[in-house]
Amino acid sequence: MNTARAARHIAVLGGAGGIGRAIVQHLVDAGDEVTVLDLPASLERHELGVPGIGIDVCDEASVQQAFSELGRKQGAIDGFVNLAGYNSVLQPIGDMSSAYFDEITGGNLRGAFLTAKAVLPLLRDGGSAVMIASGLASNIRAGYGAYSASKAGVIAMMKVFALENAPRVRFNAVAPGLVDTAFLRGGTGRSNEDQSSIVPLDAYRSATPMQRLAMPEDIVGPIEFLLSPASGFMTGQVLWVNGGGYMP
C-alpha cells in the first residue's frame, strides 16, 4: 500500500532554535517544503538548509515585512509553527521591573498575536497553526511571573483564534515542560548559548516521573500530530508534554 503523502509547505517561526531545528529537520526528511522565520543572528548562526526570513516579533513592522515576504515567495501555506519565546532571568514578580515584564510579555504574547494575525491570510483552507505555550502557563512556579502570564495568554488567545477561524483553519498548542535547549542558557540569537542554565536541572530531573529532561525530539511528534490530518477534528486544544511532571 502506498502511504506517501503530498508535500506540504510549513512556515516555522523560531526554526533556528533547539526545538525548531529538530522540527525543521523532521519536516524536511518527510519531504515538506519549509521556510524558517527567525532573528537574523539566529539564521546566521545555524545553517538550516532551507529558506530563511529575518524577523523580530517585538517589532510590528518587521513582522508585517517578514510575512509579506513569505507570501510573495511561497503563496499559501499548509501549516505554521510558532516556537518564538524567551525568558532571561528568574525573579519574584514583586521585585520585577515593569520594563522586564513588558519585554517578556511583549515578545511572548504580543509577538504571538502579531504573527498569528499575519499568518492567518496565508493559511490554506484546512491549514493548521501550532503555537508553543509552556507547562508554566498553568503549572505555576516561583520566579516565572512574566513568562507564565505570557504563556497563559498565548493559550487563551490560541483558543480565540481557533473559535473565530473554524472550520477554515485550526489553531492548537503544545505546552512542553522543561526542554534541554539553548533557551536555558541565554537563548538562540540572543546569546552565545553557553551560559549556565537559569534553572536547577538536577532538581527538575528528580521531580519528573520520567526522570529526565525533555529533548527537542520529544516535542517534534506532538507538533507533527497537530499539523497533520490525524488531528483534523482538533482545534483550540493543548497538548501537555512534560514527562508526567504536570497532569492537568
* 152 close to 138: Cβ distance less than 8 angstroms: yes
CA gap 47, 37 in Å, rounded: 13
- Residue 124: phi, psi to the nearest 5? -65, 160
* 17 close to 39: Cβ distance less than 8 angstroms: no
Question: What is residue 229's three-state secondary structure?
Answer: helix
CA gap 23, 32 in Å, rounded: 11
CA gap 17, 85 in Å, rounded: 10
Q: What stretches of 78-144 show up as alpha helix (H) in DSSP?
A: 98-105, 111-119
* 137 close to 154: Cβ distance less than 8 angstroms: yes
CA gap 74, 35 in Å, rounded: 9
Question: What is residue 241's three-state secondary structure?
Answer: strand
CA gap 165, 159 in Å, rounded: 10
Catalytic one among 86, 147, 204, 246? 147
Residue 147 catalytic? yes
* 56 close to 82: Cβ distance less than 8 angstroms: no
Active site residues: 147
